[in-house]
Amino acid sequence: MSQRSCLSVILAAGEGTRMKSALPKVLHPIAGLPMVAHVVKAAEAAGASSEAIVIGHRAEEMREVMAKFSPKAETFVQEERLGTAHAVLAAREAISRGHDDILVMFGDTPLIDAEALTLARLKLAEGAAVVVIGFRPPVPNGYGRLVEKGGKLIAIREEKDCSEAEKKITFCNAGMMAIAGKHALKLLDAVGNQNAKGEYYLTDIVEIAGAQGLDVVATEASFENALGINNRAELAQAEGLWQQRRREQAMLSGVTLVAPETVYFSYDTEIGADTIVEPNVWFGPGVKIAGGAKIHAFSHIEGASIASNCDVGPFARLRPGADLRNKAKVGNFCEVKQAIIEEGAKVNHLTYIGDARVGAAANIGAGTITCNYDGYSKFFTDIGEGAFIGSNSSLVAPVSIGKGGYIASGSVITENVPDDALAFGRARQKTIPGKGKELRERFASAAAAKKKAAE
């Protein structure tokens, strides 16, 4: 298998009108990744070294997305919608290069996994010319049936064309198939359009191959592997199934999920063993968590790196560029963006740290903010090792607080603070005896007059 070359042809030209969206159907995300990119990843995991994406609707947008997630993939435009075989032949140039195996897949089946594709390729290696991937849905109504005889697949029969006996078949067509590269173009070019819609159906190659004396077989995949997405309800169903898979994988690898059904992962979330994740935590793209961390409830994390034994939340938000080093703490109602929180540093509550470094063992008091943006540009705040920032302080960047520096509570700091210095940056307090009572009486009188005038 490892010596056999493989091309995946992924059909992604449909408009997906039932999604009721301006976005092409196959670009709708599952776990933060466009569903067509899930299909590409599955093909790559099954050994496909080349990808041909057949596109049509909003072709430029499709190219931009594919360049981001699969830069080596080639795109081919299907100018007219004349059926699935016609769509595959849009990638004729790629197919003609002589790959051993051709995987034909659909961009709207994001839950297909490498195992199902690898099994189909194995059958090609054993001599089959065509391998159809089938599945057994809970209710087969509406699906094409796979008609087998003597261990061979002899036809794919659409339900409307099935005999009463064939309607009882529960083994159905998932749409995906593998074709031996040496036969692919000959079989595809033999497909005609003598049918009610005048279209070229990929399924016809089963009978064409059989008539030429070539072996055609079917393999079986799970129902969820074959799940196609046509509307947003099915999109949500696929998201749920993907999340269920990922949660189980995490738990089996040593991660504790206190309430698994409430935790949401992204396609690329990395999370180490002995990490504990409490309920209602959302991981966006680009999160890496080393072992032994604790993520408390209702935290929202994306684009962040969390080292061993860190403590996050509850109700914490880590935005892209947040980098928590060993034993760092980011507590409740704190936000960290594009900032390093070094070993043992504590950002405990009600705090914003952006475009900054918080040195090892530093302590950031409640209500502290780094004022990093002047409306036009971002500026950096550097907080030294062991520094203490008092509650309700504003650090106006660019500014640095030296090692061991101490900032008095309620300060606005606009100048650098040397190592071990104490800095105050607040107005002098003034107390006027009796003035509070005078103000209350004045405000009460004004309110009463306003109410009387309204009456």
Residues 6 or more apart whose CB falls under 8 angstroms from that of 23 comprise none
Candidate list 28, 86, 296, 349, residue with the active-site label: 349
Asked whether 331 and 353 are in contact (CB, 8 A), the reply is: no
Q: How far apart are CA 216 and CA 124, in angstroms?
A: 9
Nearest alpha carbon to residue 209 among 146, 151, 154 = 154
Total residue count of the chain as it appears in this document: 455
Q: Does the annotation count 349 as an active-site position? A: yes
Q: How far apart are CA 235 and CA 19, in angstroms?
A: 9
Q: How far is CA 298 from the centre of its chain?
A: 19
Amino acid at 192: G
Q: Strands 352-358 and 381-383, how do they pair?
A: parallel
Tally Cβ neighbours within 10 Å of residue 236.
Answer: 12
Q: How far apart are CA 449 and CA 88, in angstroms?
A: 80
The residues annotated with a catalytic role in the active site are: 349
